[in-house]
Amino acid sequence: MVKEDLLHSLLESTLDSQRVFPREEAASYAVDGVIPQVVAMPATVEEVAEVMRLASREDAAVIPWGSGTTMSLGNTPRRYDIALCLSHLNAVVEYEPADVTATVQAGKTLADLQRHLADHGQFLALDPPSAEETTIGGILAVNASGPSRHAYGTARDLILGMRAVQADGRIIKAGGRVVKNVAGYDLSRLFIGSLGNLGIMVEASFKLAPLPRAERTAVVLLPSAQEAWRLAAQTANLSLRAVELLNAPALRQVATVGGAAEDGYALVLAAAGEPAAVDRSLRELGELSRRAAAALFAEVDASAQRQLWQAIVSLARPSASGTALICKAAVLPSQVPALSERIETTGRELGLAPLLVSHLTAGIVYSVWPLPQDEGVQQALDLATALRQAVAGLGGSLVVEACPLALKEKIDVWGEPAADFPLMRRIKKQFDPQGILNPGRFLGRL
Amino acid sequence: MADRKLVRELQAIVGRDAVLHAPEDLLVYEYDATIERGLPEAVVLPTSVQQVSQVVKLARRRGLPITARGAGTGLSGGAIPTAGGIVLVMTRMKRILEIDAENRLAVVETGVVNLDLSAALSRYDLYYAPDPSSQKACTLGGNVAENAGGPHCLAYGVTTNHVLGVEVVLADGQIVWLGGKTADRPGYDLRSLVIGSEGTLAIITKIILRLMPLPEATITLLAIFDEMEQASQAVSTIIGKGILPAALEMLDKMTMRAVEEAVHAGYPPDADAVLLIEVEGLRDSVGEQAEAVRAVCESTGAREVRIGFSPGERQALWAGRKGALGALGRLAPSYYILDGTVPRTKLPQVLRGVYQVGEKYGFPIANVFHAGDGNLHPNIPFDESQPGQVDKVLAAGAEIMRLCVDAGGTITGEHGVGMEKREFMRWIFTDDDMDAMMRIQEAFAPGQPFNPGKIFPAAIGSGETISRQQAVIQSLGPDACI
């Protein structure tokens, strides 16, 4: 392939040959089965810029790559020439603990960063799946979050500024490194969740948080999702870090709680913060559970807490085999019970038992459907369509986060674009006129 | 002044009583809370999004710029119609459309006054967190346009952290929602672009806001210092120790004296500086947090830490804090307020520099600001009628801004760039950075139909009007302020 040779030689003249790999070695960088012509691993922001200048000159399609944990998300790429792997950009650029802010490069893994910050009693308050592998850039690209969003919000609540390399290779900065800053348009938040579709995020500055001095976890079993919601609605003032709602199959996956978990729903709640506030929160949760006639109220052993939360966070993590269907629905928090029941009913009708795990107070419901191999794409399509209808009726959104490849040929995994889509298209056109950044993978196949 | 045909066309859209065009009426809308000026051709007070849409279409046909305006309390010249045209005053769109207590959100029209919303929410035990000092008057639409802050944004974030969605009128008159009630909507986050865009991208007509539960317990502390340096050291130490108060404000001696003369709020006018601090949360833990704060203040040299205020005393302290700008306004015919942010560890150093600038130019400088965020508000009272004073005060302001930038900070923490700080944008952004922002404007509103002459330096944006601040900076030369 001429294009491949060209790219390869050009990249070699730009980067160290140790950090350029040809197509034969690029199989592990495939996206939806599409293998890139070449893998480039720049070590500096300037090298990222060089690669993008080259890509735009050669009209080569680029997919930025962190650790690859979330590459199942998105539509199938329209074209894919260069895998731009950012794992060498893994430095902490600036960290002044007394300012409680940090600036890091995009290729740093979340776990690495957390270890660095923990030495000073601080952390970045994001807890998406796969913390050991997932990178800061990857988290920002997909706006990944976890149970802690109950207390801390998402990346858009913690970002202070960023640097990005644009499609034409120009390096830009948005925002800054201080906690309050309204100078200029908020490109940082625009870039978050844009799937690397507008530019390559190379560096980000965050507001950090002090590590909570205490944390305790409780599990409450309730007969229905509705009752779980009623209980959760009374906890607004408590010092809670996370409020997760699991259906029985999901609970069985993460914990052994005996016969009580045959049916119904479990609230898993983490209280975190000052010891006195945590103790009071646990006490009150116990009382609320008694009043709600919960089948079970149990505090999780301190030594098992971490593992339990890791298991919960991992429930909706896409598997390598790609056989499951994973959907993320977002509705109003009060609609989570009704949506959960509806999803379970849909499952029963099809003889399937989905795992349901929700960030309850954010209104986000993940459903994980193990698909029988022989059913092919039809069942996944029926499911996605049924769920999308249910969610659309509630005014929410549904993203298919992982699915059998064949399904991606039939649907836009992000859903139908809305009235604001023409504006998105104009922004894409302004930032990436050639369409070389992650082409086709975003909403409306942007 | 407007031509008769334009007035008639506008009246046909919004009604006779909702168009102002007499010179004496227009004068009211030529300024905000800054020292800049600009006269519109007509002022329109719409009552519905459809009217806004029609006005936008009319202005587009006639090639007239539109500047949206809330209550006019802005502190960066954001609502001043520098290029003339139509001012859209949004204060008649002031209905609270929905309060969904269960999901903790509210849908409001853009002209709802900030404090009115929290008042309406109190019976649900909810409130809206961002609390700019002008919250008794300022509109939520203005807050969103400027991405406003306030004392309690230390713990809970500024406006952008509390807005779920906005209904806007685009440059072609189209009405569209950006964001919405539910989380993590697929697609680009256009909502965040409009928040803080200072009215340059679209006209905001409705807002969905995130609400917060009222805290169970609040403890207010007043730490009194004989040395400003000790107070700023206390701020750095509190933040560095991982204590996160709900609010952490500093008032210096000059501010306290002005406040006490005006309202008798309970500040000690003989002290060099005070910290007004609040901790919030469960009653089980706020006491311990307050003690931790007190210990830091005492260890950094506080002369006294007062605690245990009655609700009335607390209210008076806050009324004094939020009314400080008004109180300072009594000291001189004019004042110039700045809005830089610096890393919290740099506060002592930058504050020293601010007072030095005051001495150099012969101005007293009052400091009253969001210390916990590192968000400075040096305030320079002066007399506009004295020849040369305006230029001098702007030069002093520029020098202070430069101090903030050199310390790793920024030129505006919450007031917006507006017209007065747009030349400073070059100090923190390259041409490429600003070019990327201009492309956002090109995608939303090609040709700058909305609020031209704001945010971007004159050569980058198309606005030819030059602000007084720009004129001063240009006369000083590019490096004059370093």
Classify each residue of A311-350 as buried b or exposed e, where b means 16 or more C-beta atoms within 10 Å of its C-beta.
Answer: ebbbbbbbeeeeebbbbbbbbbbbbbbbbbbbbbebbeee
pLDDT of residue A319: 77
Is residue B125 located within the same domain as residue B174? yes
Q: Which residues of B touch A226 (CB under 8 A)?
A: none
User: Could you say which of A178, A187, A443 has the minimum Cβ distance to residue B410?
Assistant: A178
CATH number at residue B48: 3.30.43.10
Provide the token pair at B179: 């964001």
Is residue B83 located within the same domain as residue B104? no
User: Could you say which of A121, A145, A419 has the minimum Cβ distance to residue B242?
Assistant: A121
Please, which residues 247-276 of chain B have a Cβ atom closer than 8 Å to chain A?
Answer: none
Provide the token pair at A196: 């690397």
Question: What's the domain count of chain B?
Answer: 4
pLDDT above 70 coverage of chain A, percent:
96
Is residue A259 located within the same domain as residue A400? no
Mutate to test the interface with A, among B103, B181, B188 (most CBs of A within 10 A): B188
ipTM above 0.90, yes or no: yes
How is residue B341 annotated by DSSP? B
Residue A153 has phi, psi (to 5 degrees) of 80, -160
Query: Which residue of chain A comes nearest to B445, CA vs CA?
Result: A423
Is there a domain that residue A176 lies in? yes
Is residue B151 located within the same domain as residue B257? no
Is residue B255 located within the same domain as residue B274? yes
**A–B: how many Cβ contacts below 8 A?**
252
Separation in Å, CA B200 to CA B46, B122, B441, B452 = 19, 33, 7, 7
Of B304, B327, B350, the residue that ends a domain is B327
pLDDT of residue A89: 98
Q: Which residues of B touch A283 (CB under 8 A)?
A: none
Look up the domain containing B154 and give its range: 94-213
pLDDT band (50, 70, 90) for residue A1:
very low
Per residue of chain B (482 residues), give pLDDT as tens. 568 999 999 999 999 999 999 999 999 898 887 777 889 999 999 999 999 999 999 999 999 999 999 999 999 889 999 999 999 999 999 999 999 999 999 999 999 999 999 999 999 999 999 999 999 999 999 999 999 999 999 999 999 999 999 999 999 999 999 999 999 999 999 999 999 999 999 999 999 999 999 999 999 999 999 999 999 999 999 998 989 999 999 999 999 999 999 999 999 999 999 999 999 999 999 999 999 999 999 999 999 999 999 999 999 999 999 999 999 988 899 889 999 999 999 999 999 999 999 999 999 999 999 999 999 999 999 998 899 999 999 999 999 999 999 999 999 999 999 988 999 999 999 999 999 999 999 999 999 999 999 999 987 554 445 556 555 544 444 333 32
CATH number at residue A280: 3.30.70.2190
Q: How far is CA A275 from the centre of its chain?
A: 30
Of B191, B213, B235, the residue that ends a domain is B213
Is residue B126 located within the same domain as residue B206? yes
pLDDT band (50, 70, 90) for residue A287:
very high
Is residue B131 located within the same domain as residue B226? no
Does residue A10 carry a pLDDT above 80?
no
pLDDT of residue B463: 45
Is there a domain that residue B263 lies in? yes
Is residue A236 located within the same domain as residue A151? no
Q: Which of A49-53, A272-276, A297-301, B469-473 has the lowest mean pLDDT?
A: B469-473
- How many C-beta atoms lie closer than 10 Å to residue A409's C-beta? 11
Is there a domain that residue B120 lies in? yes
Angstrom distance (rounded) from CA B356 to CA B348: 13
Query: Which residue of chain B comes nearest to A166, CA vs CA?
Result: B436
pLDDT of residue B33: 76
Is residue B63 located within the same domain as residue B38? yes
Residue B451, chain A, CB below 8 Å: the answer is no
Is residue A225 located within the same domain as residue A366? no
CATH number at residue A367: 3.30.70.2740
Is residue A365 located within the same domain as residue A342? yes
CATH number at residue A51: 3.30.465.10
Is residue A282 located within the same domain as residue A371? no
- How many C-beta atoms lie closer than 10 Å to residue A374's C-beta? 6
Is residue B27 located within the same domain as residue B120? no
Question: What's the domain count of chain A?
Answer: 3
Is there a domain that residue A316 lies in? no
Subunit contact B344:A100, Cβ cutoff 8 A: yes
CATH number at residue B246: 3.30.70.2190
- How many C-beta atoms lie closer than 10 Å to residue B5's C-beta? 9
pLDDT of residue A286: 98
Look up the domain containing A26 and give its range: 1-211+416-446
pLDDT of residue B479: 38
Provide the token pair at B30: 């030529």
pLDDT of residue B481: 33
- Sign of the CA dihedral with B249 first, then B251, B255, and B260 last: positive
Residue B431, chain A, CB below 8 Å: the answer is no
pLDDT of residue B384: 87
pLDDT of residue A77: 97
Provide the token pair at B199: 């009215």
Which of B282, B266, B263 minimizes the C-alpha distance to B274?
B266
Mutate to test the interface with A, among B53, B184, B442 (most CBs of A within 10 A): B184
Contact A178, A101 (CB under 8 A): yes
Is residue B472 located within the same domain as residue B338? yes
Is residue B363 located within the same domain as residue B394? yes
Is there a domain that residue B423 lies in? yes
Question: In degrees, to the nearest 5, what angle opens at C-alpha A418 toward C-alphas A129 and A150?
Answer: 30
Is residue A125 located within the same domain as residue A164? yes
Is residue B466 located within the same domain as residue B371? yes
- How many C-beta atoms lie closer than 10 Å to residue B464's C-beta? 10
Q: Which residues of B touch A101 (CB under 8 A)?
A: 343
Is there a domain that residue A420 lies in? yes
**pLDDT tens digits, one per residue of B362-387:** 999 999 999 999 999 999 999 988 99
pLDDT band (50, 70, 90) for residue A2:
low
CATH number at residue B423: 3.30.70.2740
Return the amino acid letter for A156. Answer: R
Separation in Å, CA A106 to CA A15, A48, A335, B41, B234 = 18, 12, 36, 49, 34
Mutate to test the interface with B, among A168, A179, A215 (most CBs of B within 10 A): A179
Mutate to test the interface with B, among A73, A96, A181, A200 (most CBs of B within 10 A): A181
pLDDT of residue B31: 81
CATH number at residue B177: 3.30.465.10
Contact B216, A237 (CB under 8 A): yes
Q: What is the DSSP string of A175-214?
A: E-SSS----S--HHHHHTTSTTSS-EEEEEEEE-EEPPSE
Q: Which residues of B touch A236 (CB under 8 A)?
A: 104, 125, 213
Is there a domain that residue B482 lies in? no
Does residue A107 carry a pLDDT above 60?
yes
Residue B173, chain A, CB below 8 Å: the answer is no
User: Could you say which of B195, B408, B417 has the minimum Cβ distance to residue A177?
Assistant: B408
pLDDT of residue A258: 60
Is residue A200 located within the same domain as residue A282? no
How is residue A35 annotated by DSSP? P
pLDDT of residue B469: 57
Q: Which residues of A touch B432 (CB under 8 A)?
A: 166, 170-172
pLDDT band (50, 70, 90) for residue A7:
confident
Mean pLDDT of all residues belonging to chain A: 94
Is there a domain that residue B481 lies in? no
The crossing angle, in degrees rounded to 10, of helices A376-393 and A336-350 is 150
Contact B150, B122 (CB under 8 A): no
Is there a domain that residue A310 lies in? no
Is there a domain that residue B407 lies in? yes
Which of B108, B135, B110 minimizes the C-alpha distance to B414?
B135
Is the pLDDT higher at B459 or at A308?
A: A308
Is there a domain that residue A148 lies in? yes
- How many C-beta atoms lie closer than 10 Å to residue B393's C-beta? 24
Is there a domain that residue A243 lies in? yes
Q: Which residues of B touch A334 (CB under 8 A)?
A: 102-103
Angstrom distance (rounded) from CA B284 to CA A285: 15
Is residue B245 located within the same domain as residue B372? no
Is there a domain that residue A397 lies in? yes
Q: Which residues of B touch A421 (CB under 8 A)?
A: 187
Is there a domain that residue A140 lies in? yes
Is the pLDDT higher at A94 or at A13?
A: A94
Provide the token pair at A352: 């399937």
Is residue A224 located within the same domain as residue A122? no
Beta A214-222 vs A265-273: how paired, if at all? antiparallel
Is residue A29 located within the same domain as residue A121? yes
Is residue A18 located within the same domain as residue A116? yes
Of B156, B181, B213, the residue that ends a domain is B213
How is residue B375 annotated by DSSP? B
> Minimal Cα–Cα distance from A400 to chain B, Å?
11
Is residue A235 located within the same domain as residue A250? yes
Q: Which residues of A touch B242 (CB under 8 A)?
A: 100, 121-122, 210-211
Is residue A233 located within the same domain as residue A191? no
Contact B183, B81 (CB under 8 A): no
Return the amino acid letter for A112. Answer: D
pLDDT of residue A371: 84
Mutate to test the interface with A, among B159, B182, B288, B376 (most CBs of A within 10 A): B182
